[in-house]
A and B are shown apart, each in its own frame.
Chain A
Amino acid sequence: MTATEPAPTTSRALDEIKIGGMGASRKRVEDNRFLRGRGHYVDDVVLPGMLHMEILRSPVAHARIVSIDASRAWDIPGVRLVLTGEMMATRNLAWMPTLSYDTQAVLATDKVRFQGQEVACVIADDPYIAKDACEAIEVEYEQLPVIVNPTQATAPDAPIIRDDKEGQADNVIFDWEVGDRAGTDRAFAEADHVSTIRMHYPRSHPSPLECCGSVADFDRATGKLTVYMTTQAPHIVRAAVALIAELPEHLIRIVSPDLGGGFGNKVPVYPGYVMSILASILLERPVKWIEDRSGNLISTGFGRDVYLEGEMALRRDGKILAVRMHTDSDHGAFFGDAQPSKFKIGLLHSTFSCYDIPTAHLTARGVYTNKAPGGVAYRCSFRVTEAMFFQERMMQAAADELGIDQAEFRRMNFVRDDDFPHRTPFGFLTDSGQYAKCLQVGLDAIDYEGFRREQAEAAKQGRLLGIGISCMTEPLGAGNSREYDILGIKMFDSAELRVHMTGKAILRTGAKSQGQGHETTWAQIVAHELGIPAEDIVVEEGDTDTAPFGMGTYASRSTPVAGAAVAMVSRKIRAKARKLAAHLLEVSEEDVEWELGRFYVRSAPDRGVTIQECAMAAYSNMPDGLEPGLEANAYYDPPNLTWPFGCYIVTVEVDPMTGVWDVLRVVAVDDCGVRINPMIVEGQIMGGLTEAYAMSSMQFITFDADGNCIGSNFMDYLLPTAWETPGYELHEVVTPCPHHPIGAKGIGECATVGGPAAFVNAVMDAVKQYGVRNVDMPLLPDRVYEAITQRHDVSGAPPIRTDA
């Protein structure tokens, strides 16, 4: 070593993790106010002169309304308004359109069609008076026969539920099909073996901790209607109100403040919102409606309630030749599925997307019943939950029948890593994944071979152990405008970024967080693109007067669509900042290079300016001809859905004497592409697994033969507590999304979608020796016990069985 060597030019790029950029497990900024009790929810909105609304609901499931006498309610001091269906009808608001091009009663006029349906509402000085007045309304019902399942709905002598609809001669909503019928028939004819299975995916409910509610405030002086409401999609609501109520769109402001969870429950427009709006217009006073728990569980958007007849054509060596499925879906009294596709049964035909299936055919029939409307909500991306549950239950049954190992059967039928892009049997295009690797990571983590030995040993002592696998790729994102729209509005999303002169910024998007942590992760994307520390960026959503037009948050679409818009708007800002940098550095733009947080001169890396200096220049020292300011917006229309992959493996022990089963271990391997905030992603997965465990073990809404809802309170509709919720072991594989600007895929719903089959498959594996092929969810102890002792499949379809 002789002379001193010149110091190497070191990068001055910021440490991305330190500024809270991509990959940082940054603490959720919104939790600061939530944990301090300083969140601001709809029920926290108090306006001067505000009145309170309560809803009278039908106690019966199907009845003609003979008369409604509200005179005693009007007589109660403090009552300002009593609305009935008849009065709504005078304003043409007794019925409203649903997102599935059906109609739904706002307040019943002719008859009630499900227990809990809205019959009247009272607006009073306080909610106690309103409730008292509801009880004083006398309604005479003439009871009609009740339908609680598709078999009853399609019986020849079934009463017609929707006799309000012209030309509706039965209870069928749609008969729909997709796939290749002839090709599938040919494949079945050539099969060595045909595996068949029937099951019911029960009705469940998103049950967010915060129920629905609204505060409608119509100002006669300005003509402006402001509605604070629990909605996951404020702009869609604004459009709907403009179209339904025929109010001018620029005079409607929808504000969705902090939301206490959504899970899809807060996508539809509910009668309560509409009534509070009309009441505010009529009374010219703010009107608050806060739904109670029973109202939420008994009347708002539910999930599932789908019956499957599944068939699989198999070659002896385990190759799947074709899949045939028929579903009967129970939509309740109104077809109110909140889903944006032209497909009648949502994205159910995304089933079997991770397997290489030559041909498939699906027929789907939807029916009306005397149950609450809704149909896709509960963290499921438009019936993908059913699709993947049915798929993985069919996979298990087929493997067992062929005598092939569960893992091996999946592995041999997976789409291979080099087969992308891959056209699924029903026409979706998947673009990336490492399915076999994910499965192997899961098998290694759970010690698959070791558990099989342990299982065999335990069996010698009469103990029942089981292992269940569930693998799936699912379409997440609810986007691309070619194929998806809501009321004609295309499924893009948006972001607007304003960088202030000191380099701090405000970001607004058309999405709406309801617990997903947008305020944290969106700032991380901006930090990644611009090098502005995440803590210098405030994120705002949910106010249609300020947020750019977007389609809201559901179907795991925030990161795939709005998140992409955030990246794109940041890049627009960077492009303008580059011009400012060139001006400040007195070089031409082509000579300016970017590294995280700063521009520098290519030939002289020490000469640089930070993004903050560029921001200052945008307001104080802009070059001639350049518009001042550093703001931009971006609308993003994704080229495809994103396709994350999940592999969930569960082990259980079943008590043969009681049917009680305990979870031993849960291993989850998720590939959601690039993770923006790994901690939040893991939280999403754990929450999803907990909901999967809930649905498989305890959670359902059912009905008795009279249409009484069982599950309309938290005594009957069970949410698992920390006590019984199992622990989770999480693993990751990263296959970036090829078309997303930062390589991310949806993750919010994966574990809820893929998880249930893992739990059920594990219990079915444990009781396989009894010849049982299916027990419907939830796998309540009595159902498992019946399966073991009676050696038959157990249906959970309503009505519930009683002694009578």
Chain B
Amino acid sequence: MYPSRFRYEAPRTIDEAIQLLHEGGAEAKVLAGGQSLVPLMKLRFAAPELLVDINNLPGLDHLDVAADGGIRVGALCRHRDLERSLDVAQAQPVMAAAAPLIADPVVRTRGTLVGSLCHADPQGDWAAVVTALGGHVVAQGPGGRRDIAITDFVTGPFQNVLAYDEVAVEAVLPPPRARVAGGFLKLERRVGDFATAGTAVALEIDGDRVVRAGIALTGVGSRTVDARAAADSLVGQGLTGEAIMRAADLAAEAAQPTSDHRGSAAYKRHVIHTFVTRILTRVSQTSEAAA
């Protein structure tokens, strides 16, 4: 496993990093956790001429959970930090459910959430979570910072909307307006495997009514699927058996899986249906128990 020749730079400031990316143009890549990029380079599926290592940049390793429940995840915040954060566990059950299912412990120690969003693997987990939560990415380039909604950020398989001289500096999850609930389920054949199919469900519940819902799917399309119709069908409703079934039907419809060695398209669609049903049923049971 020997990558092609490349230039390596490890700048100390974000401006320097942006300048390097600007010079490198389309042949430059940002290195954060390296858990996807480095294997791709070793397989020579990726052969960037310039690697800009952002691990020395100050102020990017934050994980801020605000009092209002809003969360900011810096570009150097590792999966492990999210997995071990009590604040995250209390503020966002969806993130807390997903964090321990990201890859394996070795990858979680180095890999980053923001890097995972940028990599835009259709089988990635975090993009589904951030989509379900209605989050956005903050990008910094020569012209300053801009916010990009996650649904606009990922444009296709392994493609994002960033300009070549922009760095994704953080991901932002908005503060909830009501009680949060939800979950993340993924079918994998083994720890560290990519998702055969996975589902993130994020709810905000006021009393017994859903006031906001997000449902996003992974592994069942050429990019993360935002199952908007399924989520919208829950808003204003209680989590009745009928509502759950309708949302699961709509989510399965939104999936665009293909058959491969991990399973047939019909099977993956069925798994999405089952997972949406299971997460919503568990939320409704927990809510009933709490009430």
Contact = CB atoms under 8 A, between A and B. Distances in A.
A723 B43 contact: no
A609 B173 CA distance: 82
Nearest to B265: A803
Interface stretch (B75-83, B189-197, B201-209): B189-197
Interface string B179-201: 00000000101111110100000
Contacts of A292: 1
B5 A800 contact: no
Contacts of B192: 721
A781 B187 contact: yes
Contacts of B260: 800, 802
B189 A658 contact: no
A710 B189 contact: no
Interface string B248-291: 00000000001111111101101100100000000000000000
Nearest to B271: A658
Q: What does DSSP make chain B's interface, helix, strand, loop or mixed?
A: loop
Contact of A715 (B3, B194, B264, B270): B194
Contacts of A718: 189-190, 193
Contact of B2 (A128, A713, A782, A802): A128
B85 interface: no
A128 B193 CA distance: 29
Contacts of B3: 128
Give the residue among B189, B193, B267 with the most A Cβ atoms within 10 A: B189
Interface string A777-791: 000111001100000
Give the residue among A659, A660, A698, A781 with the most B Cβ atoms within 10 A: A781
A724 interface: yes
A563 to B, nearest CB: 35
A781 B275 CA distance: 14
Contacts of B270: 785
B263 A127 contact: no
A648 to B, nearest CB: 21
B261 A658 contact: no
B15 interface: no
B64 interface: no
Contact of A710 (B4, B43, B261, B274): B261
Interface residues of A, number: 36
Contacts of A128: 2-3, 5
A716 B263 contact: no
B274 A657 contact: yes
Contacts of B196: 781-782
Nearest to A128: B2
A782 B4 contact: no
A25 to B, nearest CB: 30
B23 interface: no
A131 interface: yes
A280 interface: no
B44 interface: yes
Interface in B1-27: 1-5
A148 to B, nearest CB: 13
Contacts of B104: 721, 723
Contacts of A171: none
B44 A786 contact: no
A803 B258 contact: yes
Contacts of A131: 2, 44
B211 to A, nearest CB: 29
Given A801-B259, A803-B258, A785 B267 contact: yes
Contacts of A293: 1
Contacts of B274: 657-658
Interface residues of B, number: 29
A782 B264 contact: yes
Contacts of A720: 190
Give the residue among B43, B267, B270 with the most A Cβ atoms within 10 A: B267
B263 A782 contact: yes
Nearest to B258: A803
B158 to A, nearest CB: 15
B258 A780 contact: no
Contacts of A803: 258-259, 265
B264 A801 contact: yes
Contacts of A719: 190
Contact of A698 (B43, B190, B268): B190
B186 to A, nearest CB: 11
Given A293-B1, A698-B189, A698-B190, A135 B44 contact: yes
Contact of A802 (B5, B187, B259): B259
B1 A723 contact: no
Contacts of A724: 190-191
A780 B1 contact: no
Interface string B157-192: 000000000000000000000000000000101111
A458 B86 CA distance: 37
Interface in A640-662: 657-660
A462 to B, nearest CB: 14
B1 A782 contact: no
Contacts of A802: 258-260
A294 B2 CA distance: 12
Give the residue among B2, B5, B261, B271 with the most A Cβ atoms within 10 A: B261
A124 to B, nearest CB: 11
A327 interface: no
Interface string A124-146: 00011011100100000000000
A494 interface: no
Interface in A281-298: 292-294
Contacts of B271: 658
Contacts of B267: 659, 781-782, 785-786
A785 B271 CA distance: 10
Nearest to B190: A718
B192 to A, nearest CB: 7
Interface string B135-153: 0000000000000000000
Contacts of B187: 658, 660, 781
A659 B3 CA distance: 40
Interface string B213-254: 000000000000000000000000000000000000000000
A721 B191 contact: yes
Contacts of B268: 782
Nearest to A719: B190
A782 B259 CA distance: 11
A132 B5 contact: yes
A702 interface: yes
A691 to B, nearest CB: 14
Nearest to B106: A721
Contacts of B193: 715, 718
A803 B268 CA distance: 13
B261 A723 contact: no
Given A721-B104, A721-B191, A721-B192, A716 B4 contact: no
A710 B261 CA distance: 8
Interface string A688-727: 0000000001100010000000100101101111011000
B5 A716 contact: no
Nearest to A698: B189
Nearest to B3: A128
A751 B158 CA distance: 42
A294 B44 contact: no
B96 to A, nearest CB: 19
Given A720-B190, A781-B196, A294 B43 contact: yes
B191 A723 contact: yes
A618 B154 CA distance: 80
A132 B196 CA distance: 35
A723 B100 CA distance: 12
B191 A702 contact: no
Top 8 closest pairs, chain A to chain B, by CB: A782-B263, A723-B191, A782-B267, A131-B2, A698-B189, A803-B259, A718-B190, A128-B2
Given A294-B43, A723-B191, A781-B187, 5 more contacts: A721-B190, A721-B191, A785-B267, A801-B264, A802-B260
11 contacts: A132-B4, A659-B267, A718-B189, A723-B104, A723-B190, A724-B190, A780-B189, A781-B187, A781-B263, A782-B262, A802-B258
